[in-house]
Structure 1
Amino acid sequence: MRDEPFALLMTVYGGDREDHLRAAYASAVHEQSLRPDQVILVQDGPVPEELERGLAELVDGSPVEVTFVRLERNRGLGPALDAGLQASRHDIVARMDADDIAMPHRFEVQVPLVGAGADLVGAGLLEFGTDITDIVGRRVPPSDPEDIARYSRLHDPFNHPTVVYRRSAVMAAGGYGDLPLMEDYWLFARMIANGARVVNVAEPLVYYRVGDGAYERRGGRDLLRSELRLQREMLREGFISQPQYLRNVVVRGGYRLVPTMIRRPVYRWVVAPYGARRNRSRGTDTAAPSTSAQTVAGPDPTSQPSARPS
């Protein structure tokens, strides 16, 4: 089914729920038609006793090898993921959050695309509330290679819980680093600027848990500070131009400050449907992987020059 082995990378911190972790792990390991060859579990700082017991049981009962990395203090998602990447024995690495659910064929679809030459492969996702029968939204990422590069100047072009990538391409771009709440977007932008071959599968391959407080977490002063830092970094590294920077600060910064009652419909009507609109305008069926979604492509060289990885 594939020639190259791959690792699954998951991080856990004190705010995660043990039952959500068990469901996520089962979906990404036990129930996959293509299982990972190694699981890397990173415990980012102290966790409650129940979660610690759950982690030990997952390691003991795993059908594949588990590399457990324990960080003595909570260092944040970016540094935790970088620590996990250092523990990977394989160049192909799949990401999974500790509260989402992978569809059984997820890796069977994505891993061969990396084996065929892609450096970074994302996918669509379905947002759910109480359980996966409670679907509340769908995110379809841009799949055309030019759209991915263009879209990345204003939005993260990948649904971060769905990605599979080459560790070597991630390390070539400098790893995740430590930009709280924006580490995924910043990494993907630098990978695109560094010439990574990127792919998005329009088909949903992950159930993404939103639950209570999801839209509150997309705003606030902490996220605004990270947003402004991200935009400064992208401008400094030449990934965006000065006009794009000013636009992003107004649009993305403003979105972080509006009340939740406004933020939710704005996200639903403007942000989330982007990929669906683009694919419909190109006559692409978003219910299954499109031809363009399976094309290995680099960044659009006419979109914005970059002096070095951004």
Structure 2
Amino acid sequence: MSTPFSLLLPVYRGDRADHLARSFQSTVHEQVRRPSEVVVVQDGHVGPELASALERLESASPVPVRRLRLKHNVGLAQALQCGLSACSHEVVARMDADDISLPHRFAVQLPLVEAGADLVGAGMREFGESTPVAGLLRVPPTDPAGIAVEARLRSPFNHPTVVYRRSAVLQAGGYRELPLLEDYWLFTRMIESGSVVANLPEPLVLYRVDAGSYQRRGGLRLLRSELGLQRRLRAEGFTSRAEMARNIAVRGGYRVIPVGLRKSLYRNRFTIEAGTLGETVEREAGPLGHRQDTQSCTRPEPRLDTRPGAGRELA
């Protein structure tokens, strides 16, 4: 029998209901190999439109949906950690609430996990509002040695594409708070702890970008997270002193340069041009119904929302 797996989907008040509906439709209804369950983590209060969309999605889902309602917004890292504890299965797939999975995503990723991989990513294709053609392609390294080398400068995985073993994530310490860089930090710890990692070059996720995407990749707040990440990677022995110095100069500098230059560097360094998709990626998600399925998770005291474009950092 095929390995059962959970889909982990965090949602917070900054997400759009129509984007969430499309994401859910593509990652559940349209999949050749569907998840066995969906764990939706509602990170704090959401508005009525988003709450209504969640209820309709749960009602119409062809697989069981569990929604964890966190009383307060705790940030992406803690929301994901809480969600992991609620997943019924060892294998977990990640998805963001505004991206789109291609129909064969899990059909090609799960066999690698079943063959022994602990963490499997894939390529992804960028798209924007009402874009009927392909955007830029982001193709990750596929050789395990290349993944390890790349991880010492930038994330070797496109985080919206990953499927992993929960035990490997927990062995590496799970998700830890580091605004916009949580996934990258987790991946380095998984590599360091001996996880078997793999990437598929094929784009299996359409990654949504908007006018503010390049703005969010910089600024003082993200620079502080960047410096914190580099200190942690050095303290953990993942990078050398020379690599830390290089990363602070290269990655830190990237956070403070003008947005136009940042956009140009990102496109030239990390992506390649793609051809047409063949059909519009934005379309109606279809009729949705209604259901309630509530769980709770004890969390810390209220926090300020730290997630403009939560978890969207890639470079």
Structure 1 length-normalised TM? 0.86
Q: How does 1:147-226 map to 2 (within 5 A)?
A: 147-226=146-225
- The answer on 1:32 being equivalent to 2:31 is yes
Residue type of the alignment partner of 1:175: G
Map of 1:233 onto structure 2: 232
Could you tell me which runs of 5 or more consecutive residues in structure 1 were left unpaired when the two chains were aligned.
277-310
SS at match of 2:262: helix
Residue type of the alignment partner of 1:191: M
Residue type of the alignment partner of 1:213: G
How far apart in 2 are the matches of 1:53 and 1:12? 13
How far apart in 2 are the matches of 1:167 and 1:132? 35
Residue 271 of structure 1 deviates from its aligned partner by: 2.7
Residue type of the alignment partner of 1:201: L
Residue type of the alignment partner of 1:171: L
Map of 2:248 onto structure 1: 249
Q: How many equivalent residue pairs?
A: 273
CA contact (8 A) 1:122 1:164 kept: yes
How far apart in 2 are the matches of 1:30 and 1:269? 35
Residue type of the alignment partner of 1:92: V
Residue 132 of structure 1 deviates from its aligned partner by: 5.4
Deviations 1:198-239 (A, max 9, x none): 000000000000122110011111111111100000000000
CA contact (8 A) 1:8 1:96 kept: yes
Map of 1:115 onto structure 2: 114
Map of 1:93 onto structure 2: 92
CA contact (8 A) 1:132 1:207 kept: no
248-257 or 129-138, larger mean C-alpha shift? 129-138
Runs of 4+ displaced beyond 4 Å: none
Map of 2:313 onto structure 1: none
Residue 242 of structure 1 deviates from its aligned partner by: 0.5
Residue 133 of structure 1 deviates from its aligned partner by: 2.1
Residue 67 of structure 1 deviates from its aligned partner by: 1.1
Residue 4 of structure 1 deviates from its aligned partner by: 1.2
SS at match of 2:145: helix
Larger RCO (CA under 8 A, 6+ residues apart): 2
SS at match of 1:135: coil
How far apart in 2 are the matches of 1:271 and 1:29? 29
Map of 2:123 onto structure 1: 124
Residue 144 of structure 1 deviates from its aligned partner by: 1.1
Structure 2 length-normalised TM? 0.85
Deviations 1:226-256 (A, max 9, x none): 1110000000000001110000000000000
SS at match of 1:180: coil
| RMSD value, Cα | 1.1
Residues 131 and 201 of structure 1: CA distance in aligned 2, closer, same or farther (over 3 Å): farther
130-139 or 173-182, larger mean C-alpha shift? 130-139
How far apart in 2 are the matches of 1:61 and 1:215? 35
Deviations 1:165-220 (A, max 9, x none): 00000000010111111000000000000000000000000000012211001111
How far apart in 2 are the matches of 1:271 and 1:26? 29
Map of 1:42 onto structure 2: 41
How far apart in 2 are the matches of 1:191 and 1:46? 32
SS at match of 1:215: helix
How far apart in 1 are the matches of 2:92 and 2:264? 34
SS at match of 1:199: strand
Could you tell me which runs of 5 or more consecutive residues in structure 2 were left unpaired when the two chains were aligned.
274-315
How far apart in 2 are the matches of 1:138 and 1:24? 19
Percent identity, aligned pairs only, is 57
CA contact (8 A) 1:129 1:135 kept: no
Deviations 1:5-54 (A, max 9, x none): 00000000010000000000000000000000010000011111100111
